Amino acid sequence: MKKLLIALPLFAVALCFTGTADASGGHGKHKGHHKHGHRDEVVHYYVPVQPPAPAPRYYSAPAPQPYHAPDRRSTSGLAGSVVGGAVGYQVGNGNPLAAGVGAAAGSLIGNEIGR
């Protein structure tokens, strides 16, 4: 009886592993050339796919800002330059440097008056 109690669980365990003990792959052919239960593996190669680039965003160019540079030319500055040059030439006794300084001073005074 003791032998039966030992043999019965061993038989049950052996019965559980009979599916994995089938070395022929279940086909029964090619005796002696077993694959030991291994099946042909199918290998899938996946090409890495980059995520799509975001769509370009187009922004309209900002409207050009009107550029209003102050026009510093004036006829009063021109007239002041002529008068200042003549006065500087007379005061400096014909010295060209005195005429140039007088023209610059006359232009400055003429532009200030014209504002």
Contacts with 28 (C-beta within 8 Å, 6 or more apart), sequence order? none
Does 83 map to a domain? yes
Phi and psi at residue 57, to the nearest 5°: -100, 125
Q: Which domain holds residue 93?
A: 75-114
Does 20 map to a domain? no
Q: What is the pLDDT of residues 38-54, one digit of tens each?
A: 667 778 888 888 888 88
Q: What is the pLDDT of residues 8-67, one digit of tens each?
A: 677 677 766 666 555 555 555 555 555 556 667 778 888 888 888 888 888 888 888 888
Alpha-carbon distance of 63 to 52, in angstroms, equals 33
Does 108 map to a domain? yes
Does 79 map to a domain? yes
Overall number of domains in the chain = 1
Say if pTM beats, i.e. exceeds, 0.95: no
